[in-house]
Amino acid sequence: MNAIVLAAALLAAPATPEQAVATLWRALSHDAGRPGNEAELRAILHPDAMVYGARYRDGVPALSVTRGTDFAASIGRVGEQGFHECEVAREVRQYDRFATVYSVVESRNERNAPKANFTGVNSIQLYRADEGWRIIALYYQVEKPGMPVPLQGGKSGVCLEGQ
């Protein structure tokens, strides 16, 4: 078992969906020349999780589909630019072992940049396993040019707790 997988196994899964989502944004964020926190990300992703991403490229919609394990590995690589996620709004719906979270997130290359590089909306589905809440699916869409993402009552640059 490699060190990253072992470290992820030792991290406890979050006790609430809100904790899982806050962990997601924290694990993805990193300064230039540093990786995101792959072990922390693997600890909150179900082993069979999938990540779906939508954005516009040259005005054409594009969808990417990635296994959670591959997504986590990509976060563990060192990037030339920083990447900081600031969750500005969140809505959680939960029933028994199922939860879904709608989240609005601003992304910046510099943590304290006055303006976001882009904003996105996220739909996160979670399952409460015996050890805690795990993300089974993440779907994100980066805002469409000319169609800003509503901040759902949040304020630009004001991150929710845990980030």
pLDDT at 157 over 70: yes
- d(C-alpha 58, C-alpha 4), whole Å: 37
Average pLDDT over residues 110-119: 94
Nearest to 24 by CA among 146, 125, 145: 125
Does the pLDDT at position 132 exceed 90? yes
Give the residues across from 147 on adjacent strands. 144
Mean of pLDDT over the chain: 92
The CA-atom distances, in angstroms, between 143 and each of 71, 149, 151 are 20, 6, 11
Which tokens in the block code for residue 114?
Answer: 């006055």
Q: Is the pTM of this model over 0.75?
A: yes
pLDDT > 70 fraction of the chain, expressed in percent and rounded: 91
As a whole number, mean pLDDT of residues 113-133 equals 96
pLDDT digits (tens, 9 = 90+) for 24-57: 999 999 999 999 999 999 999 999 999 999 999 9
Residue 86 to residue 111: CA distance in whole angstroms: 9
**Cα 157 to Cα 37: distance, rounded to the nearest angstrom:** 22
Question: 63-88, pLDDT tens digit by residue?
Answer: 999 999 999 999 999 989 999 999 99
Q: How do 98-108 and 60-67 pair as beta strands?
A: unpaired
Domains within the chain, CATH numbers bracketed? 3-142 (3.10.450.50)
Q: Which pLDDT belongs to residue 163?
A: 55
